Each structure stands twice: as structure tokens, then as C-alpha cells.
Amino acid sequence: MGLKKLGKWLKKNIKPIAAVAAVVFPPLIPAIGTALGATGAATAVVGAAALSGAASAVAGDSTQDILKNAALGGAAAGVVQSVSPTAFDQSLPSRVFGEGGLLSSTTSPTTTLAGNYSAVSANQLSSEVASKGLLGGVVDKVASFTGLTPDTIGKLGSAGVQALLSSAGANKIAEQGREAAQTQADAQVRAAQIAADAAKFRPVGVTTRFGQSAFTTDAQGNVTGAGYSASPEILGYQNRLSTLANQGLTQAEQAATAYKPLTGAAQSLFSLGNQYLATSPEQAAQDYITKQQALLAPSQENQLALLQNKLFQQGRTGSASAQGGNLMATNPEMAAYYNSIAQSNLALSAQADQEARNRIAFGGGLFNTGAGLQNQFYSGQTAAYAPFATAMDTSSGLESLAQQPMNLGTSIGAKTTASTAEAGRLLSGGITSAAATMAKPDAYSASGNLLTGVANNPMVTGAINNAFGVSNAPKYQIINGQLVQVP
């Protein structure tokens, strides 16, 4: 029952849509498989076969035929295994697949195949092969089931056919396993590549008023260089500052010579101070008195001369009058004169100690002054570097401004790289997990399991044992094209 004569649109589109239907609507295949009465892993195989039209479900074949055709044809088993049959509402009326329906069988299934479906025909066929041998009717059924020609079946014999089925099943499973492992490995490699690519550092280009970042990458996107270019404004400032820096450095170089007199002056002060400090306080006091008397001597002598001349003019030279008591008789003017000298000496004597201390303190002060000059010799030279250092510091500050775009680009790139790396890691993990999840379904071989199930059927164990020379099993030989048990 179907569409007998298609319209133009349907004729044009039916095959392309059927080819992508399972992708467009993922629950479709298991839903069809379920509608056809298949269960478990067979659901997807049967559904894919019916959808592809490769299986003859439409023509009224049995479910077993659908399974066989789908299995032998490899009907998209790997494609549909990942789709859960429960993704589609499976509330199908049981009457469709009940007694007399597509799934009904007159023979109770006795062999459960690895594909988790009942191989009624395989069981029947195996029983017939074991019980009847390779007679004409049985050979036809085997040929129909396996696709082998009757002639080939006759040549192989029962045991050979069983061995071939077993080998074909094993090989199919191994092939599927290899493909699944390869697929998984490929997925893991791809996942690692994605993660590594996502984790690559990706700086961001940034331009500011003061400069522009300049990152270079190779063909694979790896960063091979990082730099920046200063703006013309910054470069202009730096060029002018460079001139100032040159001048400042020259001044610094000349500073030692310029400040050298300070060293000489300091040494002189140190020598002078030494002289002051080398004199004892007593000697200093004596020296003070002596110097002061020497300073006073000319004026005192002048005063004496004037006094003597006055007395001579008055005719009183040599005249003296008694002073009373035990004092010597003298001229009053002369007595006053000498008394003033004595008074002056007394005053000098009284000041001499203080003056001595002052001189010693002064000598010590000379050392301080000399040390200060010497210190200025060095500090002056240090200060002479200031113009150069200031120019360089300013230029360095300008350089930092020009560097900001590169630093910003690196910082932003680091943040975005971290997030993309995390995204890549998640994607990688997802792919790896998906690959692991798909590994078992991919390794599942409908045809392999079907054939292995047939070969593992206990009803044909004897024939298989015979083929592989197991001693306790019945032995068979082909005699005139017939399988005959031999002792």
C-alpha cells in the first residue's frame, strides 16, 4: 500500500529527502523500527532499512528478512545506533504486531543473538542443517540466507559453511571494532587539536594616542613576535629629550673637574684646623696675651714718650713725690700711666682663657667646614647627573605610554585566550566523551553479530567442531556433493 503514481514534486524530492530524513528528524529511524516491531538494537537497523527502501518491508517480507537484508547490506547501522528508540513515542498498537502480524512466528525463538533480537530463521536453518544435512531445500535456504550460491555451499559442506559464517561474523565484528577504535582515536586527535588551537595565545591589536601594538603570527596562528610603535608625538618628544640628555651627560662628565677646588679648600681648612688644635689652651692663652700686648705696645710707647716730653718741658723730669705708706715715691702722671698698663694686662689675662677656648673651637669648626666642602665635591657631581637622569626618566615614561597598546593587547589576548581555551577544553571533552560513547555502538556490527549468532548456535556446534578438527565432535565429509557423517 503506497503511492502508486507520484506527482512531479514527490518524484523529484523523494530520494534526496529519504537520504537525509534520519538527520533531519533523528527519532525517525527508531520510530519506524519500532513500528515494524523490532526491539533493542535491531530497532535502528530495521528502521534504517525500511527508510532507505533497501529492505523489502514494503513488499511484505518478514521481519527476519528485513533484518537479514539490513545486516548483510550494512544498512547504516553505525549511523542510527546513537538514536534512542525512546526518542519517539512508541505507543504502537500491539495488534499490528500481535498474532498474525509481521513479528509473529510459528517457531519459538531458541537462539538469542548478540544483536538482542531473535533469529528465528537462523535457528530453523541451523536445525535443518544439523538434522537434514545439505539437501536441496536446505541448501536453497542457506543460499537465500547467506547469499552463497548452492554450488559454493555444496563445495564447502555444512561444516565449511558454518566456519565461513563464524569467520565472516568475527571478521565483521573485528572490522567494526577497528573502525570504531579508529573513529574514536580520530575524534580524540581532533579534540586535542581543537583544544590546542583554542588554547593558542591570541593577542589583540590595540592603538592609542601614544602608540600601536604590533603582533606577528605564523601560518598556523602561533605568535612569533610582539612589539609596538610609538606615535609621532611621542617620538618627537623623545628626540628632543635625547638632546637634553646628551647635554646633561656632558655636564655630569665635567662635574668632577668643576668641583675639584672644593677638595683643595677642604684640605686647607683641615691644615688650619690642625694648627689651632695643636696649641694647648695655656699656650693659646699666652699667645693671646702676647699678641694683644704687642698690639698695644706701640700706642703705649707713644703715650709714654708724650708723657716724658711733657714732664721734660715742665722741668719735672725725675721729680717724684711720696705716695704714702710703703709705696714708692713717684711722679703722678707716670704712676697713672703704669697703672693703666697694669690694668690692661689684668684685663688681657682675664680674657685669655676664653679666647683660648674660642680658638680651639674655631679650629674644630674649620674641620667641619672642610668636611662640608669635601661633601659638596661629591654631592655636586651627583647633582650634575640630574639633567641627564631627568631627561631619560621622562623619555622612559613616554616609552611606557607607547608600550601600553602592546600590554593591553597582551592582557586582553590572555583573557580571551583563557576563555577560548576553556571552551576548547569543554568542546574537546565533549568530543572525547562522544567518541567514547559512540565507540561501543560503532563497534556493534549487525551483520557480524547476526552471522556470529548463527555460527554460535548450539545446533550447529557439531559441524563447526568438525571443521576445526575437534575430536569429540561428529565428523562429516562431502561425498558426491552430500554431507555425510563419518566415524
Interface positions with other proteins (CB under 8 A): 1-10, 12-14, 16-25, 28, 31-32, 34-36, 47, 50-53, 57-60, 76, 78-79, 88-89, 91-93, 96
Least distance from other proteins to the Cβ atom of residue 438, Å = 11
Least distance between other proteins and beta carbon 52 (Å): 7
* Minimum CB distance to other proteins, residue 455 (Å): 29
Tell me how far, at minimum, the Cβ of 235 lies from other proteins, in Å: 52
Between residues 57 and 234, which has the closer beta carbon with respect to other proteins?
57
| CB of 93 or CB of 487, closer to other proteins | 93
What's the grid cell of residue 483?
554431507
Q: How far is the CB of 147 from other proteins (least distance, A)?
A: 23
Residue 398 CB-half CA count within 13 A: 20
Task: Output 37 or 453, the one with its CB closest to other proteins.
Answer: 37
DSSP string of 258-291? HTHHHHHHHHHHHHHHHHHHHS-HHHHHHHHHHH
CA torsion angle for 389, 394, 396, 400 (degrees, to 10)? Answer: 160
- In the complex with other proteins, which residue's Cβ is closer, 82 or 411? 82
Calculate the CA dihedral of residues 64, 67, 72, 77 and round it to 10 degrees.
-170
Sign for the CA dihedral angle at 124, 126, 129, 134 comes to: positive
Q: Looking at beta carbons only, is 86 or 250 nearer to other proteins? A: 86
Which C-beta is closer to other proteins: that of 91 or that of 471? 91
Distance (Å, whole) CA 412 – CA 416: 6
**Strands 223-230 and 211-217, sheet pairing:** antiparallel
Q: Name the minimum Å distance from CB 183 to other proteins.
A: 12
Please answer whether residues 71 and 446 qualify as being in contact, where contact means their C-beta atoms are separated by less than 8 angstroms: yes
Nearest distance from C-beta of residue 10 to other proteins, angstroms: 5
Which long-range contacts link 31-37 to residues 24+ away (Cβ below 8 Å)? Answer: 31/85, 31/87, 31/88, 31/89, 31/90, 33/85, 34/85, 34/88, 34/90, 34/92, 35/92, 35/96, 36/63, 36/66, 36/97, 36/102, 37/63, 37/96, 37/97, 37/101, 37/102, 37/103
Cell reading at 333: 702722671
Query: To which H or E segment does residue 484 belong?
Result: strand 482-486
Nearer to other proteins, 90 or 376 (CB): 90
Give Dmax over CA atoms of the chain in angstroms: 198
User: Residue 186 Cβ, how far from other proteins at the closest point, in Å?
Assistant: 15
Minimum distance between the CB of residue 35 and other proteins, rounded to whole angstroms?
Answer: 5
| 86 touches 26 (CB < 8 A) | no
Is the Cβ of residue 186 or residue 422 nearer to other proteins in the bound state? 186
| DSSP category for residue 99 | T
Given a contact cutoff of 8 angstroms between Cβ atoms, the answer to whether 416 and 158 are in contact is: no
Our CB check for other proteins shows the closer of 51 and 113 to be 51
Strand ranges, E, within 439-481: 475-479
C-alpha 451/C-alpha 145 separation (Å) is 10
Nearer to other proteins, 24 or 294 (CB): 24
Closest to other proteins by CB, 29 or 245: 29
Instruction: Decide if 476 contacts 157 (C-beta within 8 A).
Output: yes
* Residue 378: all three cell numbers together: 661629591
Q: Are 203 and 409 in contact (CB under 8 A)?
A: yes
Report the nearest approach of other proteins to the CB of residue 19 (Å): 6
Q: Are the CB atoms for 153 and 460 separated by under 8 Å?
A: no
Minimum distance of other proteins from residue 420's CB (angstroms): 23
